[in-house]
Structure 1
Amino acid sequence: MTAPGRRSSTFTRLLRHGFTDPSAAERLLDGAEPASLRTDPVLLEALGATADPDLALHGLVRLLEAQPGPTDRRALLDTLTSAKPLRDRLLGVLGASEALADHLARHPGDWRALVTYEPSDLHRGVAEFERGLAGAGDPVALRVAYRRCLLSIAARDVCGTIDLAETAAELADLATATLRAALALARAAAPDDAALCRLAVIAMGKCGGHELNYVSDVDVVFVGEAADGADEDKALRAATRLASHMMRICSETTVEGSIWPVDANLRPEGRNGPLVRTLSSHVAYYQRWAKTWEFQALLKARPVAGDQELGAAYLAAVEPLVWQAAERENFVADVQKMRRRVVENIPAAEVDRQLKLGPGGLRDVEFAVQLLQLVHGRADASLRSRTTLDALKALAEGGYVGRADAARLDEAYRFLRAMEHRIQLHRLRRTHLVPEDEADLRRLGRSLGLRTDPVATLLREWKRHAAAVRRLHEKLFYRPLLDAVAQLAPGEARLSPEAARERLVALGYADPAAALRHLEALASGVSRKAAIQRTLLPVLLGWFADSADPDAGLLNFRKVSDALGKTPWYLRLLRDEGAAAENLARVLSAGRLAPDLLMRAPEAVALLGDGDGGGLAPRGRAPLEQEILAAVRRADGAAQAVTAARGVRRRELFRTAAADIVGSYGTEAQPAEADQGPLVDRVGAAVSDLTAATLAGTLRAVVRDGWGDTLPTRFAIIGMGRFGGHELGYGSDADVLFVHEPRDGVDEREAAEAAGKVVAEMRRLLQQPSADPPLIVDAGLRPEGKSGPLVRTLKSYEAYYRRWSLAWESHALLRAEVVAGDEDLGRRFIELVDPLRYPAGGLDEEAVREIRRLKARMESERLPRGVDPKLHAKLGPGGLSDVEWTVQLFQLRYGSAEAGLRTTRTRQALAAAREAGLVSEEHAAVLDEAWVLATRVRNAVMLVRGRAGDTFPTESRELAAVGRYLGYGPGHVGDMLDAYRRTARRARGVVEELFYGG
């Protein structure tokens, strides 16, 4: 013995080889026979390579002690020393499974089952396992034979001779052989019953899917029929006795333990239904009563034992029902709801330890894969695998799941299943909980090959894989496209030429032949791109048809797809990214403006997703200006800088138009708002902010190009009209005033010349023809109108307004707001004009009469000839002009006294007038509704026609498209026009009272 306080060489070696309790191990070795075990370096090194060297040594000593005599012990030791494959297998099992060590201690000769190391031994199938179970004449012998076969699987698993998928498949094959052996025992025990009936055993769940765990319920369904000449009732009772006996043989616990529970609760009606049914009874139940989850369970159904012909007939009968299940009402929602219910029912104390059921667990992978299979597998037989990993591979190959996503899920699933296997293998107990004990975690980590800090590394890898699974589960399982695909009929989902032509006609495509050519160009061939298109197009066709011009939608989609054909993210975005596909369909079929903007820069499709790019949420003025100014700094010259600024403007106009269309049409992700006021405000603010940022960037570019860092004069741009009111539409000009102030020491003529050049160059660069839409800068509201200079000094404005200002100019200045340039100069301009637009004491009656005369003259002079005034959104009765002039009259009369009226925004000023008691709630609501509707009509016309307009289109398809934008479906254009007239008429009545004093 070693003296106290000193460590022996054996102790040191044991510590070095990974033993956590070297003292106990040393005591085991001291008492072990033969003595050579204590000093054999080969064995010590092999023990140190196991998951738990202490457990492996303990199991080896027990096995040696259990040998019948010295000769048997020597034979075992000699084989261990000389045959590395056996040594690795046996010690690997002993270090990973206390339960199998117990089995070897009870059956000390079973170690010889691990000696064979032939190629045929590496991937055993049902036939090999049936031979291994042969001769087991009673349930106890069957348990022993089962454990012996299990020992061989576990040994090759822990040594890495077979991988996770092969291990799970072999466990399923062993279960199949065991069910057959158990049924044979039951038949032998009741030959009269066996003669009366035919009985087929159908494996379900993981056994049916060839992906069984070490310890798991084996789910089965029984199908019975009467043998020739037998009474059906008697035959079914006999079959039920045989099935029950077979289940007991496998499930009951004896001195050798149990094999595993056989669970028949997936049968029709579950526990309340008969254990055995006829084939016709099964089919009748599934056709009339089955729930969604039952068809999901049938996905893995596989005949494994009993009457092979009857099992094959069962499978042939139920398989078509499985692939029709996705057509059930609310199918996708039901599957999603079932997954959520599983998570909700996990005990709170177990959620964070659940490998199988918890968020990021195995069920997340399995449910996502099965849902994709059931939806897409109707039309694609390549997806109809019972095995999760095989199905995932097929989904990736077919383009239904991205390759990277599939690879990540495959990796995570294998890791989580390997964890589950090794946890269960330890004591052969059915559990899916990650252990909390440090020793258990250490053994688990080492069993998975994590030898450096195994506990911390295991927990880190587990959380990493679980997080990836959860993220991808959310992405795939709740994909909006799935529900849309599920609602298609099988012929529609396949997109065959015949089905496609019929569907195109039914959906209202005006030119089915041209549409078919587009479909063929997009989806023909064997490329991955074509495969993804075949998944997308059946659904997109329906979304295009939910518009006034489905043919244009499909044509535009082909153009975008052709332009982005070699871009790897494009189709992946539509397939995977939230509502991107539906959003694109809405945008491409809603009119000309958004598609035209998109065609010039197709990569803007990325904005339609839910990713990090901000999606369709409008960007504020500050980030827009920052981006444009950065582009200006990088540019070589003013022309290039303004080109870049206009490119940003084009992209952001597309973002705003797309958000407007999606919000107006309404999708599951973003329902259309009942009150469209907020949407109108967002459009006006977004276009106005974008215009201000574009002008700021253009100003910077022109000044830098001509004068370097500093212009000889301070320069500011004042927004007017809808621009100043943050109410620009897609086709609006930018109404502005230009103001400058010479810097100290600069001659006024030089300053004026510089300011004039800046204005001229800005307008030229923003309006010159290019691929980007022009920005028309209109200074017509300046003093003296078109006769006056384009730019004035602040002093010149002051002098003019003091001496010559007319009523219309005070009226126009109500919308004045600084939008770009020198902030201090702009602020002083606003201070200058505030007394004009909010005159102290309000307006006298003569001024009010003058404003009314101006309004009446504008109506008579500017309204185009031949146009129905009642449908003119700007100048017609109850249109924008009516509402705005009425609100602005209140601002001029009461703005000095009511702070809320001092705003450039029409709706805010109207709300302030209501709150101040100047306008009744009812009148304010009528005016607000009319203003919002008229604004939406103008926006709709621009979106549909691609050019500005104030009246409803006359062409029927364009008019229908405006109606769809405004919420009116096919055949309801007349209702739309009636509703507009009605709204405008009510508003005109209020205007007559409030503006004209009627």
Structure 2
Amino acid sequence: MTNEPSRPGPYRGESGGDSGGRRRSASTRLLRYGFNDPATASRLLAAEELGELGTDAVLLDALGATADPDLALLGLIRLVEAQPDETARRTLLRTVGSAKPLRDRLLGVLGASEALGDHLATHAGDWQSLAVYESADLNPGVADFEAALADVRDPDALRVGYRRAMLTIAARDVCGTADFVQNAAELTDLATATLRRALALAEADAPEDAAACRLAVIAMGKAGGRELNYVSDVDVIFVAEAVGDTEEAPAVQAATRLAAHLMRICSDPTAEGTIWPVDANLRPEGRNGPLVRTLSSHLAYYQRWAKTWEFQALLKARPVAGDAALGAAYCQALEPMVWQVSERENFVPDVQQMRRRVIAEIPAGQRERQLKLGPGGLRDVEFAVQLLQLVHGRGDTTLRSSTTLVAVDALATGGYVGRQDAAALDASYRFLRTMEHRIQLHKLRRTHLVPEDEADLRRLGRGVGFRAEPVTELTRAWKRHASVVRRLHEKLFYRPLLDAVAQLAPGETGLSLDAARLRMEALGYADPSSALRHLEALASGVSRKAAIQRTLLPVLLGWFADSADPDAGLLNFRKVSDALGKTPWYLRLLRDEGAAAENLARVLSAGRLAPDLLLRAPEAVALLGGPEGLAPRGSRALTQEVLAAVRRAESAEAAVDAARGVRRRELFRTAAADLIGAYGTEGLPAHEDPAPSVDRVGEAISDVNAAAIAGTLRAATRARWGDELPTRFAVIGMGRFGGREMGYGSDADVLFVHEPREGVDEGEANKAAFAVATELQRLLQLPSTDPPLLIDTDLRPEGKSGPLVRTLSSYRAYYRRWSAVWESQALLRARPVAGDEELGARFIELIDPLRYPEDGPGEDAVREIRRLKARMEGERLPRGADPTTHVKLGRGGLSDVEWTVQLLQLRHGSCIPQLRTTSTRPALAAALEAGLIDGEDAEVLDAAWLLATRVRNAVMLVRGRPGDTFPSEARELAAVGRYLGYEPSSSAGQAEIGASGEVLEDYRRTTRRARAVVDRLFYED
């Protein structure tokens, strides 16, 4: 024990001062010894049950060394009172007073465990089991515990014998004569002896069953790994064979009766309580499968049906009771299957998915207190170690241990884990397991939650060695170790691969290229040979750059492996590193800013668009350092930057290049933020509200495209007319551009309007306007590797047959005389985006009466709108396209929702100002608020529009080119599913089953509901 208090003077009978002062002095001294209730402690120490021992300073010293001196003193009083006669009391008190080993053991147990204090108070003679202090007693094994239980003849006696043996284990634990590893091994050996004795009792009760079969008990989990807690379920699997002439079926039935009886003996409550539950749910088919199978039946199941997690569980299988030869045969037969499981398709995703599922199932409010299941908990250590064992243990038999810390040491010895990492993991695992043991020891209850009560935390802190400020020191140490575990859990999945690659050299012994290739394949890399070449290129050598890459790559490999396309992520990282390798801030940013490295990994492995943009502007990596770098710039700031860049350019072409550079950077910023989740949707399941991401992406892309057009317009003007055209010129955004709803692959629908300046001939103004509009289009169509910004002017009056640009008065005349209903509908989304702001505002004033008619559209106009919509559905849907999954023109897709909302705007926009918006979702919300649509219908339409928009964005992000249908290629479809928030399936064929099945099913369900609403509101109203 650490920080023991200095030994004070006598605590009673002091001379001098009044009695109150003496009481205060005694209380102060008792507080220094660690008592929490000095008044009660003083009364108990003076109790006649203790006699002269109550005044003995050695008792106070021993109590002060316990986890809870108050609890220890109370337990001692209860034990003395429980003695059957005066002779027994005197023997106990004399032994406690004179035998330090016994005193430390007994009081240590009483101060740590209320439950064992209860046991001693009930079985008053069991304290004598703590009196032995021989060297052989320090590490008892199964044989010792079997001998202690040899005379047991019934379940109650087994429970008493089990607790008596546990007393000795707990005493060695709390006195520090056995560490956590020895303690867990002894608890497991005691459990093994208990299982054997329970089986013997079951066989004695049914000798005919025992004669008919051979039954072996296989320990699993912590029992198999010799890592049991004080209170654990003991996981087992039963295997049986017939004996002699007994047929298989009757033999299995007999074995089942024996196994069930064994479980009841250990698990059922009696007057002496229970020992622990025997859990057989790790058997084939779990609780739905037969309790006992033959060896051949086990083998058939594992060869054909077993899931990855079942082989992971078998890593700890160990025969512990029953027929030893049968148990050994079982483990020997299954061992090859265990060490081949990493060759399964999707092995690593399966293991990772299982860990995520465990975390997700932690009850609300317990996650931060979970020592076992929570992030940074014991399962993080065990999952990481087991994954590394299963990946590397195929070829290295030294890794095949069922005990976690033995496996950690083997991984470090074999070079699969760095020695410092292994030492840190070992220390943190020991600390967390010791905490777990102390928590369970108090009441002998199965719990892994750190207590919240102050007194419980104080006892726990003292129990693990903290004395000065036990609660504060415990909390600080616990959080530190949990942080270490979490960091190493993330790292250890992938670090060994990098070390293996870095150490490869011709003529060296050690890991072969084939073995390294197998390991990469096990982690989900489709082309492990290429992946190894990338790793060698990045991390080989002795330069500082290579050293930093060796630090970064272990974690990056993990993030890549957790994506839909790990190979693409690694390849893109190599390309970016080659482009920026000599830039001093690049690797430093990734090394020192954890967010930057993770963000980069996610962006590089999520599809083609963002990596392609980054490779054309590698310096944009700097945007990934934190949330502020990913925040959208805003329309005004972007336009000012683009115009300034254009002003500095020497030619129109150079000006457009400058504008494209800003657009390229901003598109990357938007795509990166979208992929990383800076807009609020990362990791959300598909049914969560994705609106913030969709809205902000649409606004950001629309704003950067508007800025690029404004800059190009300035460049087109300057080339011939300087800073001012002879006519005012404005660009009006239409469609999704006007609605600020553009996607990554959207065209920019526009109208051009001009008005001659004072004193300028209209013919000259028309020529100038046409020339600048034509030049604007030419400049935007110059060859580029960037995603194109295509200008579409087909929504102008008379369409392709009409003038490219018109004066404001010409628009007025056309709309007054010739305007069709579809034009009024199209103008609902008109918004000035570039050029002369005052002229743009006047254009909007001109068209408002047209798009928001005072009495709404007439019945003929409504029929025409419906006819046009039906015609579009029949004629514009591409041949062969599935109407249930085409996001733009398919049933319940973008067109359905938008035309329904626009009909409401045409009908009611004149009298409901909130409907006068160019954006779909605000218009739908206004219609809901005005009572034009009920809440359920609005929710259905909104959900469909959001999902279709997200799919459209996802397709462009993944494929690097626009599309209105889901990809057919499995890996691309899986990436689209990831973007939409769907976790990969944990079964084989994850891309096809996880993405194609669930994503498409959810999309069809959502849009089918939307189409039903559209049929009622658009076609039937």
Class of the TM-score when normalised by the shorter of the 2 chains:
0.5 to 0.7
Maintained 8 Å contact 1:201/1:305: yes
**With structure 1 as the length reference, what TM-score do the two structures score?**
0.56
Q: How does 1:149-228 map to 2 (within 5 A)?
A: 149-159=165-175, 164=180, 167-180=183-196, 198-226=214-242
Please report how far the alpha carbon of residue 209 of structure 1 lies from its aligned counterpart in structure 2 after TM superposition. 3.3
Do residues 519 (structure 1) and 538 (structure 2) align? Answer: no
Query: Secondary structure at 2:241's aligned position in 1?
Result: strand
Q: Quote the residue 1:851 is aligned against.
A: none
Task: Evaluate the alpha carbon distance shift between residue 631 and residue 58 of structure 1 in structure 2; reply closer, same or farther with a 3 A threshold.
Answer: farther
Among candidates 664, 678, 682, match of residue 650 of structure 1: 664
* Match among 51, 72, 86 for residue 56 of structure 1: 72
- Residue 278 of structure 1 is aligned with which of 284, 289, 294? 294
Mapped contact 2:572–2:604 kept (Cα < 8 A): no
Alpha-carbon distance between aligned partners in 2 of 1:180 and 1:229, rounded to the nearest angstrom: 26
Q: CA deviation at 1:312?
A: 2.4
Identify which range, 32-41 or 374-383, moves more after superposition: 374-383
CA deviation after TM superposition for structure 1 residue 430, in Å? 4.3
Indicate how the Cα distance of structure 1 residues 908 and 310 shifts in structure 2: closer, same or farther if over 3 A, else same. Answer: closer
Does the CA-based 8 Å contact 1:295-1:322 persist in structure 2? yes
Partner of residue 309, structure 1: 325
Look up the equivalent residue of 1:689 and give its one-letter code: D
1:373–1:391 CA contact under 8 A, matched in 2:
no
CA distance in 2, matches of 1:679, 1:422: 47
SS at match of 2:131: helix
Q: 1:106 aligns with which of 125, 130, 144?
A: 125
**Secondary structure at the counterpart of residue 173 of structure 1:** helix
Counterpart in the other structure of 2:634: 624
Aligned to 2:703: 689
| Distance verdict in 2 for CA 1:111–1:406, change over 3 Å | closer
Match of 1:867 in 2: none
Q: Deviation string for 1:910-947 (max 9, x for gaps)?
A: xx9xxxxxxxxxxxxxxxxxxxx9xx99999999899x
| Greater alpha carbon shift after TM alignment, 650-659 vs 335-344 | 335-344
Q: Could you say what secondary structure the match of 2:66 adopts?
A: coil
Pairing 1:595-634 to 2, within 5 Å after superposition: 595-602=611-618, 623-625=633-635
1:78 is aligned to 2:98? yes
- CA displacement, residues 178-234 of structure 1 (integer Å, 9 cap, x when unaligned): 434655777899999878764432112321233312123322223333567887678
Identical columns (%): 54
Contact 1:153/1:170 (CA < 8 Å) preserved in 2?
yes
Residues 190 and 763 of structure 1: is their aligned pair in 2 closer, same or farther, counting only changes over 3 Å?
closer
Q: Which runs of 5+ in 1 are unaligned?
A: 478-492, 508-514, 545-550, 702-710, 743-758, 780-796, 841-869, 871-878, 913-932, 950-956, 970-998
Measure, in 2, the Cα distance between the counterparts of 1:352 and 1:684: 36
Match of 2:151 in 1: 138
What letter matches 1:137 in structure 2? A
1:457-476 to structure 2, matched below 5 A, reads: none
Matches within 5 A, 1:658-673: none
Q: Is the 8 A contact 1:56 1:94 kept in 2?
A: yes
1:21 partnered with 2:37 = yes
Q: Distance in 2 between matches of 1:267 and 1:728?
A: 51
The change in CA–CA distance for 1:75 and 1:322 in structure 2 (over 3 A counts) is same
Distance apart, 1:138 and its partner CA: 1.1
CA pair 607-146 structure 1, distance change in 2 beyond 3 A? farther
Indicate the residue corresponding to 1:748 in structure 2.
none
Note if contact 1:628-1:644 (Cα within 8 Å) is conserved in structure 2: no
Amino acid at match of 1:217: D
1:516, 1:338 → 2: CA distance?
A: 25
Range with bigger deviation, 194-203 or 522-531: 522-531
SS of the aligned residue for 1:215 comes to coil
Q: 1:30-58 deviations in whole A, cap 9, x for unaligned?
A: 23577654444454244234222111123
> How do 1:512-911 and structure 2 match up within 5 A?
518-522=530-534, 558-560=574-576, 584=604, 587-588=607-608, 595-602=611-618, 623-625=633-635, 648-654=662-668, 686-693=700-707, 818-819=832-833, 827=841
Q: Which amino acid aligns with 1:77?
A: G
- Residue 130 of structure 1 aligns to which amino acid in structure 2? A
User: Secondary structure of the residue that 1:211 maps to in structure 2?
Assistant: coil
Given the superposition, is the C-alpha separation of residues 137 and 171 from structure 1 closer, same or farther in structure 2, using an over 3 Å criterion? closer
TM-score by length of structure 2 reads 0.55
The question of whether the paired residues in 2 share the 8 Å contact of 1:343 and 1:357 is answered with no
For 1:313 and 1:439, how far apart are their aligned partners in 2? 50
Tell me the SS of whatever aligns to 1:623.
coil
TM-aligned CA deviation for residue 764 of structure 1: 15
* Aligned match for 1:10, one of 23, 26, 31: 26
1:599: how far off?
Answer: 0.9
Query: How much has 1:22 moved relative to structure 2?
Result: 2.7
Query: Do 2:428 and 2:485's aligned partners in 1 also have CA atoms closer than 8 Å?
Result: yes
Distance 1:906 1:261 in 2: 59
Instruction: Give CA-to-partner distance per residue, 1:373-397, whole Å, 9 cap, x none.
Output: 7996897979876456778999999
Show the 5 A alignment for 1:179-578. 179-180=195-196, 198-226=214-242, 250=266, 259-264=275-280, 266-268=282-284, 276-287=292-303, 297-321=313-337, 386=402, 418=434, 420-430=436-446, 440=456, 442-444=458-460, 446-448=462-464, 496=517, 518-522=530-534, 558-560=574-576
Match of 2:110 in 1: 94
Amino acid at match of 2:195: L
Q: Does the aligned pair in 2 maintain the 1:194–1:238 contact within 8 Å?
A: yes
1:787-816 deviation digits (Å, cap 9, x = unpaired): xxxxxxxxxx9999999x9x99xx9x9898
Contact 2:217–2:319 under 8 Å retained in 1:
yes
Distance 1:46 1:290 in 2: 54
Taking structure 1 as reference, are residues 899 and 371 closer, same or farther at Cα in structure 2, changes over 3 Å only?
farther
Deviation at 1:98, TM superposition (A): 2.7
Contact 1:301–1:315 (8 Å) recurs in 2? yes
Are the aligned partners of 2:560 and 2:601 in contact in 1 as well (CA < 8 Å)? no
Q: Distance in 1 between matches of 2:623 and 2:413?
A: 27
Aligned equivalents of 1:113 and 1:316: distance in 2?
Answer: 40
SS in 1 for 2:115: helix
Deviations 1:711-767 (A, max 9, x none): 9xxx9975678977867986989999999999xxxxxxxxxxxxxxxx9xx999999
Please give the root-mean-square deviation of Cα atoms over the aligned residues, in Å.
8.4
CA separation of 1:155/1:329 partners in 2, compared to 1, >3 Å: closer, same or farther?
same
- How much does 1:653 deviate? 2.2
Q: One-letter code of the match for 2:167?
A: L
Paired residues, number: 824
Q: Secondary structure of the residue that 1:222 maps to in structure 2? A: strand
- CA gap of 1:325–1:736, structure 2 versus 1, over 3 A, is same
Query: Per-residue displacement from partner, 1:441-484 (whole Å, max 9, x unpaired)?
Result: 6534543556678679989999999999999999999xxxxxxx
Cα 1:737–1:213 change in 2 (3 A) is same
The 2-side partners of 1:21 and 1:35 are apart by 21
Show the counterpart of 2:500. Answer: none
Change (3 A) 1:672 1:650: farther
Contact 2:47 2:54 in 1 (8 A): no
Query: Structure 1 residue 552: deviation in Å?
Result: 9.2
* Matching residue's letter, 2:531: L
| Residue 425 of structure 1: how far off its partner (Å) | 1.4
Aligned partners of 1:73 and 1:24: how far apart in 2?
20
